[in-house]
Amino acid sequence: MDWGSILNNTLAGFLTPTTIAFALAALGLAMHFGFAGLLNFGIAGFMAIGGYGYAISVLTFGLPWWAGMLVGVLGSVVFALILGIPTLRLRGDYLAIATIAAAEIARLLFLTTAFTDVTGSADGLFGFNSRPDGSGFQNSNPIPQGTYGFGPFTYNEQTLWVLVFGLIVLTVAVWFLWALMRSPWGRVIKGIREDEEAVRSLGKNVFAYKLQALVIGGVFGALGGIIYTAAQNISPGVYVTSLTFFIWTSLLLGGAATIFGPVIGAVIFWVIQAFLSNVLPELASSGILPVSTTQASTLRFVLVGIGLMLLVIYRPQGIFGDKRELTFVK
């Protein structure tokens, strides 16, 4: 086994556009579940809305990349309002079912052949990051052509530009959530998570607060989808239900009711994924695992599922979380 190559590929998963996208989406789930107590299983839908809103705006309507990203964010706000107004009076499992159904509806709308000219159907969309007219995200890249970094952290100018932009967006999002949770609004949201009837008895409009939390978390999810899309083509096959559960794993790993926990959880999750995707096929090819290399690559998803179950059972508050902050932990 080539442990040097395995270690190099594992460390490369520490900082990628995908890691940043997951961190932003996990921040959105922290807003929804960790602070507001909303059981949202449709975060992949918000990511899809953000990514497709950006890509379609650039390709179909010829908007510059920054305007396309704003359209993706506004699309997530509209999606949150459409989803939240009829469903936020539901609680627990019922809300979870409604959100996962809404995310799947959004994905199928992008997948259907009825809108192929706009969405690309199953083939997805490409060519929106670099445009002949200079309106693409990579057309605005200020980094000179070349290779930067060292060892596993080596990037070309395009990937480095996505990383720099993504880290700026992530930093602003973390600061905004931190400031929001320290404000009177944040204290009301935490109160709703603990006992919404008590908050309602104080004259607060609980439904309005929950809807605002859904919108804010949805914007974070859309930003994650935009960063994910800025690094590659977009396809509806990415935004499946398993993506939501991967983001949930990142959230619970770091700590649901924390600010930095989701970010660190996303990093740890992708480092573990990178390690397993490299070491399991090596173990299979060496005869240590009695499976094929293809089966070994799939086995990592089984291990992630087992890890998620053990995490919820034995460490539900995550690495940095406080058990007293989680309403489902008694």
Indicate the number of domains in the chain.
Answer: 1
- The domain that holds 256 is classified in CATH as 1.10.3470
Q: What is the pLDDT of residues 199-246, one digit of tens each?
A: 999 999 999 999 999 999 999 999 999 999 999 899 999 999 889 989
The pLDDT assigned to 89 comes to 81
Q: How confident is the model at residue 330 (pLDDT cuts 50, 70, 90)?
A: very low
Helix (H) / strand (E) element for 153: namely strand 153-156
For residue 289, count other CB atoms closer than 10 A to its CB: 17
Q: What is the pLDDT of residues 23-67, one digit of tens each?
A: 999 999 999 999 998 999 999 999 999 999 999 999 999 999 999
Which residues, in sequence order, are CB contacts of 104 under 8 Å at separation 6+? 42, 45, 241
Full domain range(s) for residue 236: 3-325
- Angstrom distance (rounded) from CA 96 to CA 181: 23
- Does residue 225 lie in a domain region? yes
Burial 217-239 (b: 16+ CB within 10 A, else e): bbbbbbbbbbbbbbbeebbbebb
The pLDDT assigned to 329 comes to 44
Q: Which amino acid is at 150?
A: F
The pLDDT assigned to 326 comes to 60
- Angstrom distance (rounded) from CA 33 to CA 39: 6
Look at the block and give the residue holding tokens 């309106």: 135
- Does residue 129 lie in a domain region? yes
Name the token pair of 249: 């794993």
The pLDDT assigned to 102 comes to 93
- Does residue 330 lie in a domain region? no
Nearest to 76 by CA among 230, 241, 229, 214: 214
